[in-house]
Amino acid sequence: MASAQVLQQPQQPLSLAAAMSSIPIYASPAPVPCPPPHQTPSVPHAQPSIGTGTASASGKREPAGGYTFAFARVKGELCLVQVSSSTPVSALTPLDIKLFRHEFISIFRFAGARTLHPADIAIVEPIDERLTKYEEENETVFLARGVMERMRRLSGVGVGGGRTRYAPAQRTRQR
């Protein structure tokens, strides 16, 4: 009788289903302030609010409209995307996503919809619905401060806004 051998495979990026199922519903240890609504720009940050999703029988919140926000690497670039949660997860099934471009501090605007092959996208980190505010009429997304910090860490952007430098360039004077 032959025994089955278990081979360990190298760790791959999370699949869409694994990434979405790993979103903890009430996992944040402290409330993270959400960005203000577009109509009240004088308020620095509003308190977190309950998202517009609906609770399912399992107790998990389903995203409104069947979409969830996530940080993803699309063809090597870190992006904010909105992924359809109704798309069946398969290595051959194309994914319908909405891409958002970074506009100002924690504001992102809709840049376009794409259908991508799963090899072209890797979900890096799903974003809890309660930490986003999506205004569909303006196609604008506001992210909480903590989410923006995680995005900066994931993208490798330093405090000064540019890429981090390890050593200053040496200059020599020509005579």
Residue ranges per domain, the chain?
13-22+63-154
Q: Are 51 and 64 in contact (CB under 8 A)?
A: yes
pLDDT tens per residue, range 89-129:
677 888 888 999 988 889 999 999 988 888 888 888 899 99
pLDDT tens per residue, range 43-99:
334 333 334 443 333 344 444 567 789 998 888 888 899 987 776 667 788 888 899
Q: What pLDDT score does 83 carry?
A: 87
The answer to whether the Cα torsion of 74, 141, 136, 57 is positive or negative is positive
Q: What pLDDT score does 65 carry?
A: 61
Indicate the average pLDDT of the chain.
Answer: 67
d(CA 84, CA 62): 11
Going by pLDDT thresholds of 50, 70 and 90, the confidence category of residue 174 is low
Q: What pLDDT score does 10 carry?
A: 47
* Percent with pLDDT over 90 in the chain: 19
Going by pLDDT thresholds of 50, 70 and 90, the confidence category of residue 167 is very low
pLDDT tens per residue, range 3-43:
445 444 445 555 545 544 544 444 444 444 444 444 433 33
Which residues in 21-135 belong to E strands, given as ranges?
A: 54-55, 61-62, 67-74, 77-84, 95-104, 107-116, 121-126, 132-135
